[in-house]
Amino acid sequence: MNGYEPKGFDEDAFGDKGNQSGLKTFDAFPKTKASYTTPTTRGGQWTVLILAICTLLSFNELKTWWRGTEHHQFSVEKGVSHELQLNLDVVVHMPCDTLRVNIQDAAGDRILAGDLLEREDTSWKLWMDKRNHGSHEYQTLNHEEADRLSAQEEDSHVHHVIGEVRRNPRRKFPKGPRMRWGEQADACRIFGSLEGNKVQGDFHITARGHGYREMGDHLSHEVFNFSHMITELSFGPHYPNLMNPLDKTIAETENHYQKFQYFLSVVPTLYTKGRSAFDAYTRDPSSPAVRKNRNAIFTNQYAATSQSTPLAESPYLIPGIFFKYNIEPIMLLVSEERTGFLSLLIRVINTISGVLVTGGWVYQISGWVGEFMGKRRRQTEGVLTGKNYTD
């Protein structure tokens, strides 16, 4: 009756066999039997490609969730802080007994930094030989080396900062190169940490008898050479593995009466990992528990510009190295937070579903395009050209 019998088809082959669940009667999309489908190489390759894309995107979502996302915000610094630690490691091309190191701040205090910092007689040539060795070469401040910019960018992320502090708990200044026997000391290494007032100030390195009145022989200007290398200049707790704008920089001059000026804008910064550490600081910034939290790092960032000027030899003009720093009345809060596992699961499911749906549509469209092009090719081959052929 249905026309299948004369052609040898069995109508029952297209329906369900046996006592199966009645839920199949509600299926709005009847499925073709497996015996009526033919697997193709193209379909298998497309399936492998879709699975690879799903795996890659799912792994990327898991990696992003594990590392968390960073949130940056500015806030007025909470709590009261009166002191600011300065960390310095600089080599000046002059003997130590010819240099004077001082700090003079906006509060009117003058700190004899030369008595608080360590001095070490050294050779300028030794440091010049060292400058091209190591992970980062010494450069001028205005020289934008890709490695330096990459290191500074890396040190602005929470996971890297906290990881470096945990891996390197020792906060000592590295040892300088040893002088060879009989080598003359013509340079001075000044390094160490000292506490100053948390106000605008001027840290400067000048020659003996210049800038301040003191008893002693007048130092000849021919001795002046304020060429210098800055291995580290930072504010706050000493983290020697973090790259600051003036770290590993060098400035040289052939002029004896030279003035180097650095203008620094210091911004207090708090790095926190997890919302709990951030909330603890917000509730009570002065709490000792917050300061000792392994997931909270207090430090300072700064931006630096430089200026170098040759001076005329005059008693009213003072050569030397001057660091003028200003403390900004804001605080940068950088927190790394991680969403819940349910959010991760939803993101992964949405990603896989989107890839499967998009892949299915692309597969079908490409199949239709292939069939259409095949039909046109067959039609073109079957048309008579009308040419006459003669034997």
Per-residue pLDDT of the chain (391 residues; tens, 9 = 90+): 555 555 555 555 555 555 555 555 545 445 555 555 566 666 777 788 888 888 898 888 888 877 777 778 887 776 656 788 999 999 999 999 899 898 888 777 777 777 889 999 999 988 888 776 655 577 777 665 666 666 667 777 777 787 777 777 667 888 888 888 878 888 999 999 988 888 888 999 998 887 766 665 667 888 899 999 999 999 988 888 888 889 989 999 989 899 999 999 999 888 888 777 667 776 766 666 666 777 788 889 899 999 999 998 887 888 999 999 998 888 888 887 777 778 878 888 888 888 888 888 888 888 787 777 777 776 776 554 444 444 4
Q: How do 83-92 and 228-235 pair as beta strands?
A: antiparallel
Look at residue 19 and tell me if it is in a domain. Answer: no
Asked if residues 298 and 238 have their Cβ atoms less than 8 Å apart, the reply is: no
pLDDT at position 91 is: 95
Note the pLDDT of residue 26: 47
Classify residue 275: in a domain, yes or no.
yes
Half-sphere exposure of 220 (CA within 13 A, CB side): 2
Cα torsion angle, 173, 176, 178, 182, sign: negative
Q: Tell me how many domains the chain contains.
A: 1
Q: For residue 391, what pLDDT is reported? A: 47
In a domain, 302, yes or no: yes
pLDDT of residue 285: 66
- Residue 135 and residue 154 in contact, taking contact as beta carbons nearer than 8 Å: no
Structural domain containing residue 241: 69-337
- Whether 51 is covered by a domain: the verdict is no
Whether 127 maps to a domain, the answer reads yes
pLDDT of amino acid 116: 85
pLDDT of residue 93: 94
- pLDDT score, position 171: 75
Helix (H) or strand (E) run with residue 229 in it: strand 228-235
Q: Is residue 79 part of a domain?
A: yes
Distances in whole angstroms, Cα of residue 305 to Cα of each of 140, 159, 199, 231: 11, 28, 19, 17
| Residue 9 located in a structural domain | no
Give the pLDDT of residue 226.
Answer: 94
Q: In this structure, is residue 161 part of a structural domain?
A: yes
C-alpha 235/C-alpha 302 separation (Å) is 8
Cα distances (Å, whole numbers) of residue 281 to 269, 278, 299: 12, 5, 14
CA 137 to chain centre: 19
Nearest to 301 by CA among 347, 329, 258, 332: 332
